[in-house]
Amino acid sequence: MKKILNYINGELIEPKSNSYIDNFEPAKGEVYSLIPDSDENDVELALQAAEEAFPTWSKTPKEERSAILKKIADLIEENLDTLAEAESRDNGKPLALAKKVDIPRASHNFSFYSSAIIHFESESHDMEIGAINYTLRQPIGVAACISPWNLPLYLFSWKIAPAIAAGNCVIAKPSEITPMTAFLLSDICIKAGLPKGVLNIVHGYGHKVGAALTAHPKIPVISFTGGTQTGESIAKVAAPMFKKLSLELGGKNPTIIFDDCDYDKMLNTTIRSAFANQGQICLCGSRIYVQKGIYDKFKKDFVEKVSQLKVGNPNDKSTDQGALVSKAHMEKVLSYIQLAKDEGGKILCGGEQIDLSAKGLNGWFIAPTVIEGLDHLCRTNQEEIFGPVVTITPFETEEEVLTYANSTKYGLASSLWTENLSRSQRMAQKIHAGIVWVNCWLLRDLRTPFGGVKQSGVGREGGFEVLRFFTEPKNVCIRFEN
């Protein structure tokens, strides 16, 4: 069986423990490869390599760092098919989605930061009394990048690219649930000529590798994307050590649809924003609020379209919905469907596991599910389900829907559908969310900050802001007149 290896000091090596974790193919429910069960000893080895590489890498001219990042971006693009197949097999997502979104965006992360680092500037302030202040922005040292399973290579590269572009060395830990594309990235980095030790990828469990990275006194900066509870436990360990933290956590995003929207455009995009990647994107809109004038029409059309989504083999071109990422996650999502019923919700479509074993797929499929009739404060509408499950609810006024939208502990993203420009501006100002999409969804410009408010995280990531995050500012004040 294929063994994934750690990438440490420029080499692909076995974990020190020599033990491995089973890696499952979600569509088949079968083990298909093995993941290093690394621990603090492998982290120590990676740290040694990263510390050795740092003095040279941090002083390597930006242009050279940029060229290597661009090479990595190009190699990702050249290997698009292989990477997309690996991502789909590892994660259960439709191959077409991996080809269209995940892998191109991973390549773009590297090419964007390859260019951004060249244009990154630091501030300078002239004081009238005859002094000048400027801000030196220096790489920090060894950064930890910990990423989740839902958009494996995309989120992994979103952290690594800016960290190394800024001159840091990195120890990265992909999710133990979807490690394959991170493994393939190791090979790409070797081919691109990334100097040894600049990027080290240590595979394994969060409570071992992730915890060792978080607690290590020699790792002063952590960028994490994952569940809110994990973020909380990382913050508890890192805060007393005064580490720099970027936490991109969960969401419970509202989609708010007004009567005056462009109906067809809204309907098609809302299907996508609700169910893309089986609803396993932190930006998916899982609470859909629809103004009363079009509620009944929306309910009919939406349920009809959702019922037509084809759940099946991720490799089939006609598949809209693949498998959920793991058995445990599928069970969690099913338990929320049961909870919704217990809370008085009416299942309009879906609501159950789908058995595709007749097609040789013994994995973890759930029918896309639409639920109505739930109060905005019930658990189904408050907690992150992170699966193909959405609720729909009617509303009358802007004030009413704002109360619903802002009622959760999360504040990651939101979508508004209206042709009324003033209303969209008013609403955008009042919504508690780091991102407001108006008449669109998932449109990203990497120059803008990304991230949430409230319990969706801290440390906005995006454009130059990420480069600022991965550098230490130092004020230099020069007095040139007495």
Smallest distance from ligand TXE to CB 412, Å = 8
Q: If binding is defined by CB under 6 A, does position 233 make contact with ligand TXE? A: yes
Using only the alpha carbons of the chain, give its radius of gyration. 23
Q: If binding is defined by CB under 6 A, does position 15 make contact with ligand TXE? A: no
- For residue 355, give the amino acid letter: D
Q: If binding is defined by CB under 6 A, does position 175 make contact with ligand TXE? A: yes
Smallest distance from ligand TXE to CB 300, Å = 30
Cβ closer to ligand TXE: 303 or 453? 453
Cα 189–226–191 angle (5° rounding)? 5
Which residues between 270 and 299 bind ligand TXE (CB under 6 A)? 282
What's the rounded Cα separation, in Å, for the pair 325 and 101?
17
3-state secondary structure (DSSP) of residue 368: coil
Number of residues that bind ligand TXE (CB under 6 A): 26
Q: How many CB atoms lie within 10 A of CB 99?
A: 17
472 is catalytic: no
Cβ closer to ligand TXE: 238 or 261? 238
Q: How many CB atoms lie within 10 A of CB 397?
A: 10
What's the rounded Cα separation, in Å, for the pair 423 and 244?
38
Catalytic residue among 145, 189, 282, 284: 282
Residues comprising the chain, all counted: 482
Smallest distance from ligand TXE to CB 33, Å = 17
Cβ closer to ligand TXE: 205 or 464? 205
- For residue 302, give the amino acid letter: F
Q: If binding is defined by CB under 6 A, does position 210 make contact with ligand TXE? A: yes
- For residue 279, give the amino acid letter: G
285-291/253-257 β-pairing: parallel
400 is catalytic: no
Q: In what order do the strands lie in the sheet with 346-349?
A: 346-349, 369-372, 389-395, 285-291, 253-257, 413-417, 435-438
Q: If binding is defined by CB under 6 A, does position 248 make contact with ligand TXE? A: yes
Cβ closer to ligand TXE: 143 or 192? 143
Single out the residue of 37, 176, 320, 465 in contact with ligand TXE (rule: CB under 6 A). Answer: 176
Q: If binding is defined by CB under 6 A, does position 447 make contact with ligand TXE? A: no
Residue 315's closest CA among 83, 25, 88, 100?
A: 88
Smallest distance from ligand TXE to CB 62, Å = 30
Residue 406's closest CA among 252, 291, 228, 285?
A: 252
Q: If binding is defined by CB under 6 A, does position 146 make contact with ligand TXE? A: yes
Binding site for ligand TXE (CB under 6 A): 146-150, 173, 175-176, 205-207, 210-211, 214, 225-227, 230, 233-234, 248-250, 282, 384, 386
Q: Which residues have a catalytic role annotated?
A: 248, 282
